[in-house]
């Protein structure tokens, strides 16, 4: 991992929608009057959603202006947190957990599946899918797990991950959650004696 | 006071100090990188780890001494095996990614990391993996970056936020990928940015103009005074041979604290460019080199031929008190009353409390509000501005600006740029008055830009009236301040280099040169005077740079610049300080007093200056207040005088261009380059 930098291709403008503005203003209201920069992380997250999964420079400037912050302070935050992307992501953005529990349960295979079907990490494929290895998703019980846009897909292996990606690319519905049929994080094999 | 024990010895220190400060006061050295007395505590380098022991026993692990306060009975261990190991470990981590390029690093010899790794480091490296490298950043024409050397102490980031007030430098990324940068590699714009070079404990930020030119141990260091503005910053001039290599700040809590402005730091290359080395005489529109004998005889002929009231003299912004005093002696002896030191046309006059920074710079820290009148402190006195900025961060500290609207680096209430508004403030009808009334110890700073023109003095009187109306003046508080922008001005005012009772002031002198009623004009380093159409007036320029003054002259006499002769300067708060010779005069240049004494001798005038010491003695006898070197001359509270109606009075910007305010700065290539940068940090094309 190297330091994140702003993407070379930048859109000329960025605008929040009215709902976004209401949301940001509500967030600002949570803090004392002269502390509105406390709302910077939620604001950036809203901006990232509005811009399609990543933060263009214009969005950073907009947030800086709205919160009366020096632009370098906003850039510091955007580059510090790994959940802010400074380069474009695909329409389907796969975040592969690579932290120890998932890694022990075979996240390397998941990454291989992504590499084989989507392409290199961080690059957006022609059909607008991209993937990135991220820190712990907090779904260790159902490891290995990935997050695609807003949803989690768990208990994966190479085959089920390949199937998932193919379905995404074929614009078919995919099942959210565990891919081996268990409900949330209940034990994988319910032992009859204890049932 | 708090009783503490450091390494088995008992000490008593002030309450509220941090452990690192307490150790420093008690003479126990603690290594540090990120901690700096004048910046907020970051506690991220971990170099200052110590063991502390209190009633609960020994601390479970070493603690950062910069981040914990002393408490009664605290036992501090700085030399235990655990502390030694911790420091060695920290040092080893810092050196993991630090390149071993000391032989080609400008910081070498004055590097905190180098020094501390000798004292506290591990003997050998155990690191065999790849080192990290970081792209260099472009921070403008002053700061050279070598970011691989950065140890992420964040001193520069905190300085940029807390002292300059312009949040320009930041740290992007995190962990081992953290990088210090400006926003998208833009040049830093602050007037104080050069101080990050001194702050940087390693060679990541070094001086670009000074790069690879000298090693610190080759330099001779002379402690002197800065003349780029009227703050009188204490500086150290580093020379090699007869050349000034760089200028660094000295610590003086009352004046410049630990900083200097970029103009002070980088004017030095101007000292060897555009210099006047020989006397020149204009013949048929062309300058010709002449001997001193010839120059002096031409000059004395001219002075002899002129009637006393046809002779005028203007002193410049960089001249010392001694130089101006010797010129004053010459003019007195010739009977001329047309002497003028207010080159910008301001009309300050009278006793010194009417034109000094009475509250002193330290008074800004005690004040609870500030009214700026006709001034842009950011350009006129960048270090005073930084003190106001520090106060402006306190809640309930309000700042009002009556004058030209300027981009200051703190928020202020703009009261308009109509001088007549001051009457509304005096009679209480202005909305800002309610704020002024609530202030117990406010300060007022009147700039020279408010005092230019025929009604300048009336405006000064109105300002004093305003000061009396509110709490600016009381028995134990004097918040009436006039800010000067020229280093020589307060000194020249003190020794009274002003028009005599029948003398002409600046506008009248210039008018006289153009109309012919002034036949000889003597400019002592006066470069800001513009004689548009001087007709037959014979202009003598005595100075050191081929700048505006020399271009208009008929006779040029070379004299040394401020760093080449000793001299006294009085800063805007009335502090008399001595500037010390650092290098020798160039070419045939002679000291100012020597030239004047040669003229006096040639003309057989009734005075004689035998040597510099006698001259200074004479000044001290006549103006005994100046004897208080390094202390402030006190003025008392200014008295209210009647003011006439101010008609057609307008505010000016006393300093339009921060970078090019005097002949040395205009000759400096570094400052001219910096001037090319527009405010947003890109080159103007």
Question: Measured between CB atoms, does A72 come within 8 Å of chain B?
Answer: yes
Question: Measured between CB atoms, does A73 come within 8 Å of chain B?
Answer: yes
B-chain CB neighbours of A80 within 8 Å are 172-174
Q: Where are the beta strands (DSSP E) in B448-579?
A: 473-474, 477-478, 480-483, 520-524, 538-543, 555-558, 567-570, 576-579
- Statement to judge: residues B404 and B531 lie in one domain: no
Q: Write out the residue range of the structural domain in which residue A154 sits.
A: 92-178
Residue A195 has pLDDT above 50, yes or no: no
pLDDT value at residue A184 = 83
B557-613 pLDDT, tens per residue?
999 999 999 999 999 999 999 999 999 999 999 999 999 999 999 999 999 999 999
**Record: contact A80-B170, CB cut-off 8 A:** no
H-helix or E-strand containing B460? helix B456-469
> How many cross-chain Cβ pairs, A to B, lie less than 8 Å apart?
39
Question: Measured between CB atoms, does B174 come within 8 Å of chain A?
Answer: yes
Question: Measured between CB atoms, does B183 come within 8 Å of chain A?
Answer: yes
Q: What's the Cα-to-Cα distance from B83 to each of A133, A137, B318, B443, B568, rounded to whole Å?
A: 39, 38, 52, 48, 49
- Statement to judge: residues A58 and A100 lie in one domain: no
Average per-residue pLDDT for chain A: 92
Residue with tokens 């990232």: A48
Residue B676 has pLDDT above 90, yes or no: no
Nearest to B298 by CA among B315, B281, B286, B283: B281
pLDDT value at residue A194 = 53
Question: What CATH number corresponds to the domain at position A22?
Answer: 1.10.10
Does residue B292 lie within any of the structural domains?
yes
Does residue A5 lie within any of the structural domains?
no
Does residue A85 lie within any of the structural domains?
no
- Statement to judge: residues A59 and A127 lie in one domain: no
Tokens describing residue B587: 């070419």
B110-137 pLDDT, tens per residue?
999 999 999 998 888 888 999 999 999 9
Does residue A123 lie within any of the structural domains?
yes
Residue that terminates a domain, selected from A52, A80, A108 = A80
- Statement to judge: residues B78 and B151 lie in one domain: no
- Statement to judge: residues B454 and B371 lie in one domain: yes
Does residue A11 lie within any of the structural domains?
no
Residue A1 has pLDDT above 70, yes or no: no
Does residue A75 lie within any of the structural domains?
yes
pLDDT value at residue B678 = 55
- Statement to judge: residues B613 and B497 lie in one domain: yes
Confidence of residue B684 (pLDDT cuts 50, 70, 90): very low
Question: Measured between CB atoms, does B147 come within 8 Å of chain A?
Answer: no
Residue B179 has pLDDT above 50, yes or no: yes
B-chain CB neighbours of A70 within 8 Å are 166-168, 170, 183
Residue that terminates a domain, selected from B486, B511, B527 = B486
Q: B526-530: long-range contacts at Cβ-Cβ below 8 A with a sequence spacing of 24 or more?
A: B526/B314, B526/B315, B526/B316, B526/B317, B526/B343, B527/B316, B527/B317, B527/B662, B527/B663, B527/B666, B528/B316, B528/B317, B528/B343, B528/B344, B528/B662, B529/B314, B529/B343
The 8-class DSSP code of residue B22 comes to H
B342-360 pLDDT, tens per residue?
999 999 999 999 999 999 9
Average per-residue pLDDT for chain B: 93
A-chain CB neighbours of B167 within 8 Å are 70, 72-73
H-helix or E-strand containing B670? helix B669-676
B376-422 pLDDT, tens per residue?
999 999 999 999 999 999 988 999 999 999 889 999 999 999 999 99
B50-100 pLDDT, tens per residue?
999 998 999 999 999 999 999 999 999 999 999 999 999 999 999 999 999
Question: What CATH number corresponds to the domain at position A112?
Answer: 3.40.30.10
Q: CA-to-CA distance for B313 and B539, rounded, in angstroms?
A: 10
- Statement to judge: residues A109 and A149 lie in one domain: yes
Residue B680 has pLDDT above 60, yes or no: no
Residue A75 has pLDDT above 90, yes or no: yes
Q: Which residues contact A187 (CB under 8 A, 6 or more apart)?
A: none
- Statement to judge: residues A160 and A106 lie in one domain: yes
| φ and ψ at residue B50, rounded to 5 degrees | -140, 165
Residue that terminates a domain, selected from B457, B486, B515 = B486
Nearest to B178 by CA among B73, B273, B297, B44: B44
Question: What CATH number corresponds to the domain at position B26?
Answer: 3.10.20.740
Q: Write out the residue range of the structural domain in which residue B506 sits.
A: 280-348+489-627
Does residue B406 lie within any of the structural domains?
yes
Q: Which of A4, A72, A79 sits opposite B182 (nearest CB)?
A: A72
- Statement to judge: residues A98 and A156 lie in one domain: yes
Residue that terminates a domain, selected from B207, B242, B265 = B207
Question: Measured between CB atoms, does B417 come within 8 Å of chain A?
Answer: no
Does residue B256 lie within any of the structural domains?
no
A-chain CB neighbours of B130 within 8 Å are none
Percent share of chain B, pLDDT over 70: 99
Residue A189 has pLDDT above 90, yes or no: no
Does residue A192 lie within any of the structural domains?
no
Confidence of residue A78 (pLDDT cuts 50, 70, 90): very high
- Statement to judge: residues A106 and A146 lie in one domain: yes
Q: Is the ipTM of this complex over 0.85?
A: yes
- Statement to judge: residues B493 and B469 lie in one domain: no
pLDDT value at residue B312 = 95
Question: Measured between CB atoms, does A145 come within 8 Å of chain B?
Answer: no
Q: Residue range B271-286: average pLDDT?
A: 94
Q: Which residues contact B153 (CB under 8 A, 6 or more apart)?
A: B33, B34, B42, B44, B45, B201
- Statement to judge: residues B417 and B510 lie in one domain: no
- Statement to judge: residues A106 and A70 lie in one domain: no
- Statement to judge: residues A96 and A130 lie in one domain: yes
B-chain CB neighbours of A73 within 8 Å are 167, 170
B448-487 pLDDT, tens per residue?
999 999 999 999 999 999 999 999 999 999 999 999 999 9
Residue with tokens 């992007």: B172
Q: Residue range A77-106: average pLDDT?
A: 94
Does residue A7 lie within any of the structural domains?
no
pLDDT value at residue B235 = 97
SS (H, E, C) B557-612: EECCCHHHCCEEEECCCCEEEEECCCCCCCCCCCCHHHHHHHHHHHHCCCCCCCCH
Residue B685 has pLDDT above 50, yes or no: no
Q: CA-to-CA distance for B677 and B685, rounded, in angstroms?
A: 10
Q: Is B24 exposed, middle or buried (0-12, 13-18, 19+ CB in 10 A)?
A: middle
Q: Please tell me which residue of chain A has the smallest CA distance to B174.
A: A80
pLDDT value at residue A193 = 54
The 8-class DSSP code of residue B430 comes to S
- Statement to judge: residues A76 and A121 lie in one domain: no
**Record: contact B168-A72, CB cut-off 8 A:** yes
DSSP notation for B128-167: -SPPP--------SSEEE-GGG-----HHHHHHHHTS---
Question: Measured between CB atoms, does B184 come within 8 Å of chain A?
Answer: yes
How many structural domains comprise chain A?
2
Q: CA-to-CA distance for B202 and A77, rounded, in angstroms?
A: 26
Residue B338 has pLDDT above 70, yes or no: yes
Does residue A36 lie within any of the structural domains?
yes
Residue A89 has pLDDT above 60, yes or no: yes
How many structural domains comprise chain B?
4
Task: Give SS3 for B398.
Answer: strand
Question: What CATH number corresponds to the domain at position B117?
Answer: 3.30.70.20
- Statement to judge: residues A75 and A123 lie in one domain: no
Q: Which residues contact B283 (CB under 8 A, 6 or more apart)?
A: none
Strand pairing category for B49-54 and B63-64: antiparallel
Nearest to B564 by CA among B542, B541, B590: B590
B219-230 pLDDT, tens per residue?
999 999 999 999
- Statement to judge: residues A67 and A107 lie in one domain: no
Say what the pTM is.
Answer: 0.93
């Amino acid at each position: 991992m190297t330091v994140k930098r702003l993407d070379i291709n930048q859109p000329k403008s960025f605008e929040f929608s009215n709902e976004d503005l209401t949301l940001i203003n509500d967030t600002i209201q949570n803090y004392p009057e002269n502390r509105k920069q406390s709302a910077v992380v939620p604001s950036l997250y809203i901006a990232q959603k509005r811009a399609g999964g990543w933060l263009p420079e214009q969005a950073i400037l907009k947030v800086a202006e709205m919160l009366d912050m020096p632009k370098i302070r906003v850039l510091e935050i955007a580059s510090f947190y790994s959940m802010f992307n400074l380069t474009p992501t695909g329409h389907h953005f796969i975040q592969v957990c690579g932290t120890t529990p998932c890694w022990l349960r075979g996240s390397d295979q998941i990454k291989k599946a992504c590499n084989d079907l989507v392409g290199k990490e961080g690059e957006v494929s022609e059909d607008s899918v991209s993937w990135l290895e991220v820190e712990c998703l907090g779904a260790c019980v159902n490891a290995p797990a990935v997050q695609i846009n807003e949803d989690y897909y768990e208990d994966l292996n190479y085959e089920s991950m390949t199937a998932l990606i193919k379905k995404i690319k074929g614009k078919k519905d995919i099942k959210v959650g565990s891919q081996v049929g268990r409900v949330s994080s209940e034990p994988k094999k319910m032992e009859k004696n204890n049932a | 006071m708090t009783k503490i024990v450091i390494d088995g010895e008992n000490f008593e220190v002030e309450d509220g100090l941090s452990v690192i400060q307490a150790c420093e006061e008690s003479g126990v050295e603690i290594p540090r990188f990120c901690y700096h007395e004048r910046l907020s505590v970051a506690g991220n380098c971990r170099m200052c780890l110590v063991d502390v022991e209190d009633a609960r026993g020994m601390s479970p692990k070493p603690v950062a001494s910069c981040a914990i306060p002393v408490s009664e009975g605290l036992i501090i261990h700085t030399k235990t095996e655990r502390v030694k190991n911790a420091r060695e470990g920290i040092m080893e981590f810092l050196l993991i990614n630090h390149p071993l390029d000391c032989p080609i690093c400008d910081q070498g010899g004055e590097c905190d990391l180098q020094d501390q790794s000798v004292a506290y480091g591990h003997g050998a490296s155990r690191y065999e993996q790849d080192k990290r490298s970081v792209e260099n950043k472009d921070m403008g024409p002053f700061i050279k970056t070598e970011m691989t050397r950065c140890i992420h102490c964040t001193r520069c980031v905190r300085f940029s936020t807390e002292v300059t007030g312009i949040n320009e430098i930041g740290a992007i990324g995190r962990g081992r990928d953290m990088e210090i940068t400006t926003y998208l590699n833009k040049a830093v714009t602050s007037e104080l940015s050069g101080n990050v070079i001194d702050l940087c404990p390693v060679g990541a930020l070094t001086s670009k103009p000074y790069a690879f030119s000298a090693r610190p141990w080759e330099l001779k260091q002379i402690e002197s005074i800065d003349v780029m503005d009227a703050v009188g910053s204490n500086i150290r001039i580093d020379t090699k041979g007869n050349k000034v290599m760089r200028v660094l700040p000295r610590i003086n809590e009352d004046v410049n604290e630990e900083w200097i402005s970029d103009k002070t730091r980088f004017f030095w290359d101007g000292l060897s460019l555009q210099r006047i080395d020989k006397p020149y005489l204009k013949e048929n529109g062309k300058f010709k080199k002449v001997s001193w004998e010839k120059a002096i005889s031409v000059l004395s002929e001219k002075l002899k031929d002129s009637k006393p009231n046809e002779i005028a003299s203007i002193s410049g912004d960089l001249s010392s008190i001694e130089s101006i005093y010797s010129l004053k002696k010459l003019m007195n002896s010739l009977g001329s009353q047309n002497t003028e030191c207010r080159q910008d046309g301001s009309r300050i006059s009278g006793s010194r409390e009417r034109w000094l920074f009475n509250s002193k710079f330290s008074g800004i820290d005690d004040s609870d509000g500030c009214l700026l009148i006709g001034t842009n402190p950011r350009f006129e006195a960048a270090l005073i501005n930084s003190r106001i900025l520090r106060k402006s961060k306190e809640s309930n500290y309000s700042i009002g600006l009556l004058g030209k609207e300027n981009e200051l680096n703190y928020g202020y209430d703009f009261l308009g740029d109509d001088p007549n508004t001051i009457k509304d403030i005096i009679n209480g009808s202005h909305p800002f008055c309610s704020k002024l009334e609530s202030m117990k110890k406010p300060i007022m700073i009147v700039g020279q830009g408010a005092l230019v023109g025929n009604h300048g003095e009336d405006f000064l009187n109105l300002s004093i009236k305003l000061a009396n109306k509110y709490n600016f003046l009381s028995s134990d508080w004097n918040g009436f301040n006039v800010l000067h922008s020229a280093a020589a001005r307060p000194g020249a005012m003190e020794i009274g280099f002003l028009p005599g009772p029948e003398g002409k002031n600046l506008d009248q002198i210039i008018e006289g040169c153009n109309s012919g009623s002034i036949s000889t004009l003597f400019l002592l380093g006066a470069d800001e005077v513009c004689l548009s159409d001087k007709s037959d007036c014979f202009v003598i320029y005595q100075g050191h740079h081929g700048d505006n003054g020399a271009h208009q002259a008929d006779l040029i006499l070379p004299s040394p610049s401020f760093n080449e002769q000793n001299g006294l300067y009085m800063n805007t708060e009335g502090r008399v300080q001595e500037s010390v010779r650092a290098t020798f005069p160039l070419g045939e240049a002679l000291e100012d007093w020597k030239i004047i004494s040669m003229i006096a001798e040639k003309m057989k005038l009734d005075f004689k200056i035998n040597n510099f010491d006698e001259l200074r003695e004479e000044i001290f006898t006549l103006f005994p207040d100046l004897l208080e070197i390094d202390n402030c001359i006190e003025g008392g509270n200014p008295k209210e005088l009647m003011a006439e109606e101010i008609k057609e009075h307008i505010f000016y910007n006393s300093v339009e261009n921060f970078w090019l305010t005097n002949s040395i700065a205009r000759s400096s290539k570094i400052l001219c380059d910096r001037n090319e940068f527009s405010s947003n940090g890109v080159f103007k094309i």
